[in-house]
Structure 1
Amino acid sequence: MYGTFTSLLLLLGVAVILVWAFRRIKLPAILAYLCAGIIAGPHVMAWIPDPDEYHLIAELGIVLLLFSLGLEFSLPKMIAMRRWVFGLGAAQVLGCLLIFLLVGFLILGNWGSALAIAGALALSSTAVVIKQLTESSQTATRRGQMTVAVLLFQDIAVVPLLIVIPLLAGSGDGNIGYLLLMAMVKGAAVIAVLMGVGKWILPFVFREIANQRTDELFVLATLLVALVAGGVTHLFGLSMALGAFLAGMMLGESKYKHQLEADIRPFRDILMGLFFTTVGMQLALNSFIQSIHWILLIMLAMTLTKLVIIRYVAKAMGERDKDAWGSAISLFQMGEFGFVIVSLAGTHGLLDSEMATTLVGIGVFSMALTPIVIQKLQPLVSIMVKEDSGSSANIEQHFNQHQSEEKDHPVLICGFGRVGQTISRFLNAEGIRHIAVDNDPMRVQEAVAGGAPVYFGDSAKRDILRAVGAAKTPLVIISFADDIRATEVLKGIREMNEDAYIIVRSRDDLNLDVLQNAGASQVVPDTLEASLMLISHVMSRSGIPIRRILSRLDQERRNHYGDMHGFYPGSQTSLDSETADKLEFLHAVNLPEGAWAVGKAIDALDWERHHVKLKALRRDDVEVSEPESHFELRSDDVVLLSGRPRHVEAAERWLLEG
């Protein structure tokens, strides 16, 4: 026990020093982890005599990495990518397998050995490539998504390879076709189950967990879901990474995606570092140096084969040269599953120790080069693409700008309580794009049902702010009246965005100096008049003419703040008898098929009798703020009601049951 602790302590010490040193000279941290593994491994200092002891823990890093990636990919996006996954991905894997298999058989004269080598070389590194694409913000680009699609197919292709190799070695029993068919059936079944659970059960589970307002519980549940999903797919013969990706993809459509990503990031990064150290431990330096000429030759052949197949298949599918070359260059390396295949083939006697060492050397060396290659991807692509550099740069700039416009919003609202919702309504009325973040799950659920652009998350956390685009947002509103928490949010925003104009709501002026020193551009007092002041600042900074602003504010005052009545309640909203008789709530009612109100015109329904107002109607994701009286309600319409709590509840039963 003491020896294991000392070994781990030495490994961590070397890793910390190397990561610091590599970052100082602008090199990726992955290289530092690989070097730390080489130093601590059995072939140099031998602090870790058996790297397999840490293999399972290290593999969890890949699981969490793929879970995080899944959060960025919704099911519709994956369906849209099926052409890349089963077209480009299948062509790359099958093409590389065929070429490497024929060359390997001509050299070795054994189909089993040739298949083991072909399988190892045909696969690329999911862990390294996705981590580098994420860090360089390229996962949202077209070439980044093409690369991810190919990697997903490779993860699926590992399964038949792991079945066939032992059978070719004569150590397996059973029919190959039958085993492959069963693996396919089990894989399809487990994927269907995971997708169903992720779509219909997990959002409910996380809503209940979020209601408890316990950060530890949310983190534990996130880790549990990622690991259980990975474990289920592993149990049925698929990769753990694929299961985690599916679970993340299902939760990526929920309002908790940013909070999930922020919670899992520290565990993912630490375990990924441990994974890369275990990769480095597998490299025997003496054997690597002795066979460096074979390693370089085989790696060059592997790179050229992958480049040619991916580039020309992508081009045949109608992709641009820049994207085809970008995806091909990103996937030049051997991957972590290659080590699994090499180990399996060695166990069954298909590969001798010299060939196994050479393949491990190719894997480690190519994975070590990958971060540098992806960092320099644009210059490398420019070398390969024969076109006018100015035109190329303009196309790339336009594409990146389009991606940025989809992601960024001019206004960020931190807190979606009564004031935050009031601001959001005015911004919607002026057509100003914005996004909000709130940590009340009930409020977020109600607001999302009503069509509000709000995500669940704690805006005091840096990762949440980064996820919702605070680093680039020019205008930020902190709408909750909690000066201590507002100070934390201010510090987090100022760390990543010094130029943002930040307006802060405060109950009074007691902490005015504190908030200004923390980075507030403007501090505004509370009450409904304070809401109007916030709106005037937001509109002014958004380019709305001052006369129009004053006209809108005057209209609200003359209307006795009519448009400001009604708000989405949260789990902490006070509902005592005095408050409930004065406040008006907003509530989104979805009309299912068979609801009593379906088929009835708006003017045929007695809204006043039920003491509620129809604030808006959403149909097919389009909101009509003042629907015409002859509008006929349909199934799946969302009706936004305003009224006192007991009246809203009664009106919902009336619309559904009559």
Structure 2
Amino acid sequence: MSAGFLNVIALMFIAVCSVAIFKRIHLPPILAYLFAGILAGPQLFALFAHPQEMHLLAETGIVFLLFSLGLEFSLPKLVAMRSLVFGVGGGQMLLTTAVFTSIPYLFGLPIKASIIIGGALALSSTAIVIKQATEMGILNNRRTQLAVSILLFQDLAVVPFLIAIPLLAQSGEVSIAFALGEALLKGIFVIAFLMSVGKWVLPWVFREIAKTRTDELFVLTTILIALLAGGLTYYFGLSMALGAFLAGMMLGESQYKYQLEADIRPFRDILMGLFFVTVGMQLDINVLWSNFFTIVLGVVGLMIIKILMVRMAAAFVKTNPLDAWSAGIKLCQIGEFSFVIAALATTYGVLTTGQSSLIVSMGVLSMALTPWLMNNSLVFAKRIVANKSEDNAHNTLIVDNDLTNHVVICGFGRVGQSVARMLKMEGIAFIAIDMDPVRVHESRNAGEPVLFGDASKKDILSSANVEKAKLILVTFDQPDKAKQVISGTHQIDNTADVMVRTKRDYQLDGLYSAGANQVVPELQEGSLMLISQVLHYAGVPMSRILKRVRAERKGRYDHLHGFYPGETTEISYGTEDKLEFIHAVVLSEHAACMGSKIKDIDFAKMRVRVRGLRRNGTEVKDPDHEAVLQPHDVLVIAGKPRRVERAERKLLEGS
């Protein structure tokens, strides 16, 4: 076995471990790949003494990344968001690039290198911001949409930089204006050619390939088109990434968009991981240590400047100050495309390895801070704009102190608003509490009794007269925050009834333990409604259906808990100890539990429940605890995945 092959295995092992560890501490995989590259680089483990030899393969990852970006690029979306994209996004890019270009130029760097540094530092991380916003459930609010608009323009701005870098690297007295003009002419020709091919040739090609119903051919054709487009632009002296972006954009409006994206994703993710590993390999550790304080100060200065530039750009289109500051805090890091630009500029000699290492070091540090900054962006924004007066303006609702037997709705999203409409139809008074200032403003203008504030705070709950309320309803699906609402309510009035809505059944016990009187899991309630319809169509009398539904609710959905796991069952870190599995244990003649009575087996200690017993192909409903287990019995047990595994081992092996 060659040393090179062993080095590849070692690199993959380091990458897998790094991604797993970074995932555990809620840091993005990009940082894990960079960390793996630093470990595998020539200055530490030295798995690859010449990382530049992997550049071609890594650049293929950039090609696939830009191809995917092109698939996501939508002209209708761009037109719909044009004021934010070109107003705020364009202003932010121009202002930030100008500032970060002037700083290195004033310190004596060449204008070519200064422009590339300015452009690289002006970009933010689309991957991290979008992923974090999606996980936080804030992707569709106004502040995040402003950030997304800026990111969209930044993604567009990457393309001119990728075009310009090879031209800026050309030797001779070639002016930057001439280089960019030449790039523009070449770009127009290549774009016109590729768009023509995309309009008249590619739809026919994919239509014919789709008829063959061969997945491998579809995937191979997708890869070939991305590489051909990249090769064409490379032939004309432009970036391969530009061609891939154009190819993706051509296919982005086609009916094959989602299939193409699904096919290309595994190759993109693997090769992009390899690209960031190579970036990490090129990071000069000596530069990092010798300039550590400079890098830290640089990151602080970078973040402050980027936040200010977003605020200034937003002021041009008269965007809400709170939204502008919040978006700026979300976007104050360095983006993954900054690494792409820095690596490409280093390859072409526009930047030195030391300069590229400084950019990468600042990028890694700023990316590591991004999840925390995004979680607290609204808090910081409110402090900056002194938003207390605005909060008070939302709370100008005067609650009648004599109001009694009303419903307090904590969370006025879709669920809360639906409940409010039904209560209004029945003439039942209610007060809602919500933290979204836009939603509160819109609802209040429509005459809805909505308080602005955090429902987990006692003073907000007191403002809603919870001590006189008939019911406190928690509609948002945040179990930890719901527990705070329950605690705050019971501190005010320990006899108050609290009903909580949740999505998953494995959160039931925790919410009941916190003091909830009723927990309504959407999954189980949806199943009950479906079951009711099925039984009705099957001819079961409505009285019996209602009786069964009431029994399930009273028994906390006992018959609806647990499921038989399958090959496609997904178990994450957060759910592996919360899901409930049902498992059938086939008892052989030599099973350790053979001849034992069910009551003699301590299932309570194993923390599993007996759900059924099958004997001779017949199901024994509600098996008697006096029943003696016989060979070939099938014992059906339910519990958490790990407990079920341990219980099966105990039943069969006795250990």
**Range class of TM-score, shorter chain:** 0.5 to 0.7
Does residue 17 (structure 1) correspond to residue 59 (structure 2)? The answer is no
Verify the 8 A CA contact 2:84 2:146 in the aligned structure 1: no
CA contact (8 A) 1:147 1:330 kept: no
Equivalent residue, structure 1, for 2:397:
none
Give SS of 1:333's match. Answer: coil
**Further displaced range: 286-295 or 335-344:** 335-344
Quote the Cα distance in structure 1 between the aligned partners of 2:435 and 2:230: 41
Which residue of structure 1 aligns with residue 98 of structure 2?
98
- Choose from 148, 151, 161 the match for 1:148: 151
CA contact (8 A) 2:147 2:328 kept: no
* 1:279–1:395 distance in 2 versus 1, CA, 3 Å: farther
C-alpha separation between the residues in 2 aligned to 1:73 and 1:326? 25
**Structure 1 counterpart of 2:56, which letter?**
L
In structure 1, what is the Cα distance between the partners aligned to 2:265 and 2:109? 47
State the AA in 2 paired with 1:216. E
Residue 298 of structure 2 aligns to which amino acid in structure 1?
I
9-18 or 146-155, larger mean C-alpha shift: 146-155
Q: Given that residues 63 and 226 in structure 1 are in contact (C-alpha distance below 8 angstroms), is that contact kept between their aligned partners in structure 2? A: yes
- Conserved? CA contact 1:101–1:117, under 8 Å: yes
Partners of 1:133 and 1:233 in 2: CA distance: 34
Deviation at 1:313, TM superposition (A): 0.8
Report the equivalent of 1:266: 266
Contact 1:307 1:329 in 2 (8 A): yes
2:71 touches 2:251 (CA, 8 Å); kept in 1? yes
Do the aligned partners of residues 241 and 353 (structure 1) sit closer, same or farther apart at CA in structure 2, a change above 3 Å counting?
closer
Aligned-partner Cα distance in 1 for 2:229–2:525? 40
2:47 aligned with 1:47: yes
Match of 2:191 in 1: 191
- Residue number in structure 2 paired with 1:288: 288
Which region of structure 1 is more displaced relative to structure 2, 372-381 or 308-317? 372-381
Matching of residue 244 in structure 1 with residue 286 in structure 2: no
Return the letter of the residue paired with 2:288: F
Contact 2:39 2:45 in 1 (8 A): yes
Structure 1 window deviating more from structure 2 (54-63 vs 305-314): it is 54-63
Question: SS at 1:45's partner residue?
Answer: coil
1:151 shift after superposition: 1.7
Deviations 1:79-120 (A, max 9, x none): 344555544444333323332333333333754554454344
Shift of the 276–351 alpha-carbon distance from structure 1 to 2, 3 Å rule, reads closer
Give how far 1:206 is off: 1.9
* Structure 1 residue 158, shift from structure 2 partner: 0.8
For residues 154-204 of structure 1, what are the alpha-carbon distances to aligned partners after superposition, in whole Å with 9 as ceiling and x for unaligned? 21341575267547xxx3343443332121122233233333433443333
Find the residue that maps to 2:332 and give its secondary structure. Answer: coil
Q: Find the aligned partners of 2:22 and 2:366 in 1 and give their Cα distance.
A: 18
Q: Any stretches of 5+ residues in structure 2 without a counterpart?
A: 395-433, 444-502, 504-521, 539-655
Partner AA of 2:45 in structure 1: M
1:108 partner SS:
coil
Instruction: Report which stretch shifted further, 146-155 or 3-12.
Output: 146-155
Question: How far off is 1:502 after superposition?
Answer: 8.8
Cα shift readout 1:289-326 (whole Å, capped 9, x = no counterpart): 22111111222222222221122212322434454335
In the alignment, the residues of structure 2 paired with residue 114 and residue 522 of structure 1 have an alpha-carbon distance, to the nearest angstrom, of 68
Alignment partners' CA distance in 1, 2:369 and 2:211: 46
1:44 counterpart letter in structure 2: L
2:161 to 158, 163, 171: 158
Residues 25 and 54 of structure 1: is their aligned pair in 2 closer, same or farther, counting only changes over 3 Å?
same
Q: Name the CA shift for 1:111/1:230 in 2 (closer, same or farther; >3 Å).
A: closer
Partner of 1:37: 37
Q: Distance in 1 between matches of 2:344 and 2:63?
A: 21
* Amino acid corresponding to residue 142 of structure 1 in structure 2: Q
Change (3 A) 1:237 1:283: same
Q: Kindly state the Cα deviation for residue 498 of structure 1 after the two structures are TM-superposed.
A: 5.4
Matched residue, 1:75: 75
Report the residue type matching 2:60 in the other structure: L
Matches of 1:268 and 1:344 in 2, distance apart?
18
Q: Which residue of 2 aligns with 1:394?
A: 436
TM-superposition CA deviations, 1:321-358 (whole Å, max 9, x none)? 45433543343233455456656777898766655543
CA distance in structure 1 between the partners assigned to 2:89 and 2:339 by the alignment: 20
The 1-side partners of 2:270 and 2:324 are apart by: 32
What is the match of residue 508 of structure 1? none
Q: 1:145 to 1:240 in 2, by over 3 A?
A: farther
> Separation in 2 of the partners of 1:217 and 1:203?
15
1:69 positional shift: 3.9
**Partner Cα distance (2:212, 2:322) in 1:** 48
Q: Secondary structure at the match of 2:334?
A: coil
Q: Structure 1 residues 86, 53: CA separation in 2 closer, same or farther (over 3 Å shift)?
A: farther
Relative to 1, partners in 2 of residues 1:266 and 1:213: Cα closer, same or farther, differing over 3 Å? same
Count of aligned pairs between the two proteins: 422
Q: Mark the CA change 1:111 to 1:264 in structure 2 (over 3 Å): closer, same or farther.
A: closer
Which residue of 2 is the match for residue 223 of structure 1? 223
1:567-598 deviation line (CA, Å, top 9, x unaligned): xxxxxxxxxxxxxxxxxxxxxxxxxxxxxxxx
SS at match of 2:107: helix
Q: Quick one: distance in 2 between partners of 1:499 and 1:8? A: 48
- Map Cα deviations across residues 446-472 of structure 1 (whole Å, 9 max, x no partner): xxxxxxxxxxxxxxxxxxxxxxxxxx9
Contact 1:155/1:242 (<8 A) preserved: no
1:394 partner amino acid:
D
The secondary structure found in structure 2 opposite 1:172 is coil
Comparing 281-290 with 245-254, which one deviates more in the overlay? 245-254
Verify the 8 A CA contact 2:198 2:251 in the aligned structure 1. Answer: yes
SS at match of 1:223: helix
Change (3 A) 1:110 1:67: closer
Cα pair distance change 1:278/1:7, threshold 3 Å: same
Q: TM-score, normalised by structure 1?
A: 0.54
CA RMSD of aligned residues (A): 4.5
Match of 2:60 in 1: 60
Q: Quick one: distance in 1 between partners of 2:217 and 2:5?
A: 29
Alignment of 1:595-606 (within 5 A): none
CA distance in 2, matches of 1:39, 1:115: 31
- Deviates most, 185-194 or 339-348: 339-348
Spell out, residue by residue over 1:117-167, the C-alpha distance to the aligned partner (whole angstroms, 9 max, x if none): 434433445565566567767776623531332322321341575267547
- Say which SS state the counterpart of residue 315 (structure 2) adopts: helix
Deviations 1:539-583 (A, max 9, x none): xxxxxxxxxxxxxxxxxxxxxxxxxxxxxxxxxxxxxxxxxxxxx
- Relative to structure 1, the CA distance from residue 159 to residue 398 in structure 2 (aligned partners, 3 Å threshold; closer, same or farther) is farther
Alignment of 1:458-473 (within 5 A): none
Task: Tell me, yes or no, if the aligned pair for 2:168 and 2:176 is still in contact at 8 Å.
Answer: no
Give the counterpart letter for 2:6 in structure 1. Answer: T
Q: Which residue type is aligned with residue 324 of structure 2?
A: A
**CA distance, structure 2, for counterparts of residue 42 and residue 352 of structure 1:** 17
CA contact (8 A) 1:41 1:280 kept: yes
In structure 2, the residue corresponding to 1:283 is in which secondary structure? coil
Provide TM-score, normalisation by structure 2.
Answer: 0.54
Change (3 A) 1:314 1:499: farther
Structure 2 matches for 1:354-365, cutoff 5 A? 355-365=355-365
Cα pair 2:92 2:310 within 8 Å, conserved: yes
